[in-house]
């Protein structure tokens, strides 16, 4: 049987067991499992890694539990500005959008940029015009209004403070979502999507839509999707660094990813995690925060889902 595998994440941070009741935990686990099943169905029917990561991320975008798509946090203006990126390991093709509003599934728009334009990254109103041209589905502002996200914003909206998926004062969660996959033809792909920081201003953009920082895929090495304090992942070019360590230092995926997360990022104050898969189907999901919503699947190891 030809090998295939997939992993997804729904954000990392200070996910305390004491703040997570059993019902809430079950809802997150169900959300992760439903999303990864969207990708598994494609891969087991010999579909492409690109289709699998897009489907998994779109499912997470549709779930208001996660800070992407429908569950995106509020900006300082009380709006929603979303970022997304998708990348193919075959030829390093990539598409990304940042600061887009009212796009139901930003990851689908990112793929459209990759396949139907000569560009990699489109921003804000320009990306929205491109979405209209290509009939990408939009939704009214009310669709993105989640009561929990609104309450998070209310707590800090009158300040210049930003919060990483701010929840309770003692809880910190980086609410990016992402997926990486290997298909039966040996191709890798990665996809990442986020609503960014609560109360963000000035058109702030994190690592998610920047290939090599929050998202990367290369058939010669690996596919990576990151979640965390985006500024640090940008400084470290974290996703590409995993690939570079594998290619130039000739070390394993596990060693490369852990070096980036536990040494390079932490040395500059960076917090978060990543999911990564190599060309052999090996998966690793390191994080230096208290927890990370994550799930993985391969026919050999079955479905695994974890939070802490």
With CA atoms as reference, report the closest residue to 282 among 175, 211, 180: 180
Residues in the chain: 308
Q: Which of 48, 75, 176, 198 is catalytic?
A: 176
- Provide the β-strand partners of residue 98: 123
Structure tokens at 176: 């990016």
Whether 176 sits among the annotated catalytic residues: the reply is: yes
CA distance 188 to 81: 28
Residue 77 vs residues 1, 22, 84, 129, 213: alpha-carbon distances, Å: 52, 34, 21, 21, 27
**What are the residue numbers of the active site?**
176
């Amino acid at each position: 049987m030809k090998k295939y595998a997939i992993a997804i994440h729904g954000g990392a941070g200070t996910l305390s067991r004491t703040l997570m009741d059993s019902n809430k935990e079950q809802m997150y686990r169900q959300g992760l499992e439903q999303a990864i099943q969207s990708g598994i169905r494609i891969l087991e029917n010999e579909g492409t890694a690109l289709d699998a990561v897009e489907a998994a991320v779109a499912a997470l975008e549709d779930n208001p539990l996660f800070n992407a798509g429908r569950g995106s946090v509020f900006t300082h203006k009380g709006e929603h500005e979303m970022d997304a990126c998708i990348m193919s390991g075959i030829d390093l093709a990539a598409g990304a959008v940042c600061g887009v509003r009212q796009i139901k599934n930003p990851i689908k728009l990112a793929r459209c940029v990759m396949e139907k334009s000569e560009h990699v990254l489109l921003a804000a109103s320009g990306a929205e015009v491109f979405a209209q041209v290509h009939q990408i589905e939009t939704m009214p502002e009310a669709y993105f209004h989640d009561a929990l996200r609104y309450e998070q914003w209310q707590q800090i909206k009158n300040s210049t403070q930003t919060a990483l998926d701010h929840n309770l004062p003692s809880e910190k969660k980086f609410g990016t979502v992402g997926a990486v996959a290997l298909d039966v033809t040996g191709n890798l792909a990665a996809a990442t999507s986020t609503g960014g920081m609560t109360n963000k201003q000035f058109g702030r953009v994190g690592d998610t839509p920047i290939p090599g920082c929050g998202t990367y895929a290369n058939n010669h090495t690996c596919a990576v999707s990151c979640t965390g304090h985006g500024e640090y992942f940008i400084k470290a070019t974290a996703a590409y660094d995993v690939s570079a360590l594998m290619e130039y230092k000739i070390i394993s995926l596990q060693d490369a990813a852990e070096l980036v997360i536990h040494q390079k990022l932490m040395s500059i104050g960076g917090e978060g995690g990543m999911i990564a898969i190599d060309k052999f189907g090996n998966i690793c999901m390191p994080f230096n925060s208290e927890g990370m919503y994550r799930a993985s699947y391969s026919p050999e190891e079955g479905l695994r889902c974890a939070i802490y």
